[in-house]
Amino acid sequence: MADTNLYVDSDSKLTALLASIATEPALALDTEFVREKTYYPKLCLIQIATPKLTACIDCLADIDLAPLFNRLFKADCTWVLHSARQDLEVMYQQGRQLPHELIDTQIAAALLGHTPQIGLQDLLSEELGVDLDKGFARSDWSRRPLPEAAVRYALDDVRYLLPLWQILAQKLNVLQRGDWLTSDCVAALNTPPVTPPLTLCTRLRGLRSMDPQRQCAALALVTWRERFAQSLDQPRRWIMSDELLLRIAKSLPENLESLQAVDEMPRRLANRSGHELLAALQDSDGADQRMLIETHLPPKRPEKRELQALHERVRARAGELGLHNEVLATRREIGEFLVGRTSGRMDSGWRQAELQCLLADHPENGQ
């Protein structure tokens, strides 16, 4: 492994780095960002590693990052990340696209029997015997200058990713699970990097207990809140809490007076955005909206005994494969299957093949 550590904070250094990685087929990648006070993540660092170097690119320096993104988003560039979800989101916000090929070592580890959400530090310790310093995990990455120890921490997040991937790949090949990883990483890339308003809406606690008209009102308010938070670049919770959003949706106010009368309605919000909120509510209800919500709401719970029985069978099959059972199918996915709604994971790819015998005697199978 190379000892070359680069801190890139100028165009000339970036040009040199790009020349060094121009022909590398796979790049270990990580990002550091802050978003506590913003809607969009503020990208602070991009870390890159190859077999010959590790580099930390200061995204807050006076650098033109366009050449870097041109390289990273080329079709011949594979990204190797650990727990890629948030990194994909922040990179998508910068480049408005996703990599053509992804290898997520957290997914790979889960397919080998590791805990599904295993952290990089624990995985490196178990697979490579490498112990990383965890002291800078919650650093303010927008701080400048960054402490030297923080830069080392950031570099270590990518320094060992390629050797780790080589070991995981060998083990996957022995078990003939390379296709499993490819399938799951493609699914990760097909997941929207920014959570859609409909998904945010269906996650609201108590939504299912509301009638369809008020569910549609909640969706309209979630959509408005997302757009407004984006326009101000502020966290959505700063605009309107979930609890307030549901109270407004339940009240269905028709004018400013009734909107202001909603329990704990901030006067500033009503004065600033009251007419927009009322307009959103006025046009919220419709057959299409109702169908969207109904088909995306978490389904009603299946019969408890039936759920437990199938869950135990899935657990047993996962044990035979040396997997944690939620890697094969989560309890929620099993419940959805039992009420006739499939998640897409259980009824396609390698999971379908492994679960086929277990599910064949259920009438819901094939719906």
209 in a domain, yes or no? Answer: yes
Residues 75 and 214 in one domain: no
Looking at the structure of the chain, the number of domains it has is 3
Residues 268 and 128 in one domain: no
Residues 51 and 87 in one domain: yes
278 in a domain, yes or no? Answer: yes
367 in a domain, yes or no? Answer: no
**CA nearest to 253, candidates 231, 237, 239, 269:** 269
Q: What CATH number should be reported for the domain holding residue 279?
A: 1.10.150.80
Q: What is the pTM of this model?
A: 0.91
Domain boundary among 157, 190, 223: 190
Domain that holds residue 324: 304-359
Q: What CATH number should be reported for the domain holding residue 142?
A: 3.30.420.10
Residues 11 and 147 in one domain: yes
Residues 163 and 279 in one domain: no
Q: Say what the pLDDT of residue 298 is.
A: 73
Residues 288 and 315 in one domain: no
Q: Say what the pLDDT of residue 364 is.
A: 54
364 in a domain, yes or no? Answer: no
Residues 236 and 253 in one domain: yes
Does residue 81 contact residue 160 with C-beta atoms inside 8 Å?
no
Counting Cα atoms < 13 Å in the Cβ hemisphere of 25 gives 0
Counting Cα atoms < 13 Å in the Cβ hemisphere of 326 gives 8
Residues 283 and 214 in one domain: yes
Distance CA 309, CA 254 (A): 49
Domain boundary among 264, 296, 328: 296
Residues 104 and 212 in one domain: no
255 in a domain, yes or no? Answer: yes
Q: Say what the pLDDT of residue 367 is.
A: 44
Mean pLDDT, consecutive 10-residue stretches, the chain (367 aa), reads 79 97 97 94 97 97 96 96 96 93 98 96 96 80 93 95 98 98 96 93 92 95 97 96 97 96 95 96 89 81 89 95 96 86 80 85 53
Residues 112 and 207 in one domain: no
Residues 150 and 125 in one domain: yes
Residues 203 and 180 in one domain: no
Domain boundary among 190, 221, 250: 190
